[in-house]
């Protein structure tokens, strides 16, 4: 009886997949994205590490299995009746691995540091829908595999070796490139249908172009220095450390400014210091020097001028990020920004504000918050 029920359910699921063949891959891609969004928390947890490693291992195996289907490799085997689900399994893992990048960096206060990935993610979704063969297109399939592999290793390797810098990022990229090319070479050797469908030089050109582009994004600060993330940052009127907590006094913005808590128009009082407070997430036991680079916009020259470059050390492991602050006493009115950068000069985020010096104005809606 149980076997009959299971067979009936499997039959209904097969019919559903065939009936919705056009949209099923996207549904499974989004499903993987949502699954990780609901379950992942921080990259250095055993659970998160296990899930992501399982995703990557499973994806590599399923891509091999799927690329042998057209060779008739699974006929008269246990896998034959399940091979219809292989492209959906690929999409689910693509979605799960892609979501990891967004999850771990969506906490960043600098949207510009994660928007690049969202653009790539949307482009992949559209490409996957617009291509006639969708995920069966091997150029798309291996390109997306390389992209998620690159992000996977750039997260994982710093966590495992408890160190992160530009050299580690480059090593992570080389490992992901080697892993992807090894998988392609293995499938190309084993699968006659793959050899007939792709031109290996064209595929290598696509992969190497992606590799160079991701590195270009990294060194031009279009993506953050993984796996660090700027958790919070604001301009404040006062910062004090008390019993292990940071008490930050700042002016709260209007209620309709839902994307930001603090006001960026800073009313400066005479003899008052101006503080910039930041909280940076870093995986456990990763230590790093962080700098606040204070800049003032010179209206005469139309250029940003660096006024100070003040650093402090962070050590990872705290859920709400490692906290620190810098301050200035002698300031000019006008537009300011503080770049939060690593010792390699990679930007974690930017805190913008305007200093207003007017004796007739006083700060309003002042609050004190504990971090």
Q: What is the DSSP string of 322-371?
A: EEEEEEESS--SEEEEEEEEETT--EEEEEEEEEEE-TT----SEEEEE-
Question: If you average pLDDT over residues 9-15, what whole number do you get?
Answer: 55
Looking at the fold, whether 262 and 131 belong to one and the same domain comes out as: no
Judge if 174 and 246 occupy the same domain: no
Per-residue burial over 337-355, b if 16 or more Cβ lie within 10 Å, else e, is bbbbbbeeebbbbbbebbb
> What does the pLDDT read at residue 95?
73
Say if 162 falls within a structural domain. yes
| Position 47 pLDDT exceeds 90 | no
Residue 188 lies in a domain: yes
Burial 249-282 (b: 16+ CB within 10 A, else e): bbbbbeeeeeeeebbbebbbeeeeebbbbbbbbb
Give the residue-averaged pLDDT of 257-269: 83
Asked if residue 7 belongs to a domain, the reply is yes
pLDDT for the residue numbered 118: 56
* Within-domain flag for 12: yes
How would you classify residue 215: left for phi > 0, otherwise alpha for psi between -120 and 50, otherwise beta? alpha
User: Is residue 91 in some structural domain?
Assistant: yes
CA 322 to the chain's CA centroid: 19
Average pLDDT value for residue range 132-147 = 75
Per the CB < 8 A criterion, the answer to whether 116 and 223 are in contact is yes
Tell me what pLDDT residue 140 has.
83
Residue 278 has pLDDT above 50, yes or no: yes
Given this model, what pLDDT does residue 2 score? 45
Question: Quick check: 48 pLDDT over 70?
Answer: yes
Each residue's pLDDT tens digit, 348-368:
888 999 999 877 787 878 888
Same structural domain for residues 233 and 258?
Answer: yes
Question: DSSP labels for 270-292?
Answer: TT--EEEEEEEE--TT-EEEEEE
Count the domains in the chain. Answer: 2
Dihedral angle sign, alpha carbons of residues 283, 284, 289, 292: positive
Specify if 224 maps to a domain: no
The Cα 304–Cα 325 span in angstroms is 21
**Shared-domain flag, residues 148 and 279:** no
* Residues 207, 312 within the same domain: no
Q: Which domain holds residue 113?
A: 2-219
Coil, strand or helix: which one is 318? coil
Q: Tell me what the pLDDT averaged over the chain comes to.
A: 78
Whether residue 331 is found in the same domain as residue 361: yes
Could you tell me if 23 and 90 lie in one domain? yes
d(CA 34, CA 40): 10
Helix, strand, or coil (residue 138)? helix
Q: What are the backbone dihedrals phi and psi of residue 189, each rounded to the nearest 5 degrees, phi first?
A: -70, -40
Residue 172's pLDDT band, with cuts at 50, 70 and 90, is very high
| Whether 118 and 143 share a structural domain | yes
For the packed helices 115-130 and 24-39, what is the interaxial angle rounded to 10 degrees? Answer: 150
Angle ∠(284,285,288) on CA atoms, nearest 5: 110
Residue 194 lies in a domain: yes
Q: How many CB atoms lie within 10 A of CB 113?
A: 21
Torsion sign over Cα 258, 262, 264, 267:
positive
Give the residue with greater pLDDT, 131 vs 96: 96
Q: Which residue has the higher pLDDT, 226 or 168?
A: 168
Percent of the chain with pLDDT over 70: 74
Residues 42 and 178 placed together within one structural domain of the fold? yes
Same domain for 212 and 242, yes or no, is no
């Amino acid at each position: 009886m149980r076997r009959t029920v299971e067979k009936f359910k499997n039959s209904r699921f097969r019919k559903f997949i065939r009936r919705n063949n056009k949209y099923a891959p996207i549904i499974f891609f989004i499903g993987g994205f949502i699954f990780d969004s609901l379950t992942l928390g921080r990259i250095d947890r055993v659970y998160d590490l296990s899930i992501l490693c399982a995703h990557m291992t499973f994806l590599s195996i399923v891509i091999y299995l799927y690329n042998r289907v057209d060779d008739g490799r699974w006929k008269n085997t246990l896998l034959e009746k399940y091979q219809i689900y292989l492209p959906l399994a690929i999409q689910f893992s693509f979605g799960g691995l892609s979501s990891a990048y967004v999850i771990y960096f969506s906490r960043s206060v600098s949207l510009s540091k994660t928007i690049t990935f969202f653009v790539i993610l949307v482009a992949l979704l559209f490409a996957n829908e617009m291509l006639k063969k969708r995920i069966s297109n091997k150029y798309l399939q291996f390109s997306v595999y390389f992209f998620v592999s690159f992000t996977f290793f750039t997260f994982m390797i710093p966590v495992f070796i408890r160190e992160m810098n530009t050299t580690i990022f480059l090593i992570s990229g080389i490992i992901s490139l080697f892993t992807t090319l090894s998988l392609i070479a293995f499938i190309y050797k084993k699968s006659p249908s793959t050899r007939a469908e792709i031109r290996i030089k064209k595929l290598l050109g696509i992969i190497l172009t992606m590799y160079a582009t991701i590195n270009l994004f990294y060194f031009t600060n279009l993506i953050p220095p993984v796996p660090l993330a700027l958790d919070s940052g604001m301009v404040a009127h006062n910062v004090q450390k008390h019993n292990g907590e940071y008490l930050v006094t700042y002016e709260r913005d209007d209620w309709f400014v839902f994307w930001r808590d603090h006001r960026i128009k800073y009313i400066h009082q005479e003899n008052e210091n101006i503080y910039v407070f930041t909280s940076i997430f870093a995986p456990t036991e990763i230590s790093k020097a962080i700098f606040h680079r204070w800049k003032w916009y010179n209206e005469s020259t139309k250029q940003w001028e660096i006024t100070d470059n003040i650093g402090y050390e962070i050590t990872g492991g705290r859920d709400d990020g490692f906290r620190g602050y810098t301050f200035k006493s002698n300031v000019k009115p006008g537009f300011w920004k503080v770049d939060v950068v690593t010792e390699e000069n990679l930007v974690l985020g930017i805190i913008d504000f305007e200093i207003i010096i007017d004796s007739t104005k006083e700060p309003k809606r002042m609050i004190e918050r504990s971090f």
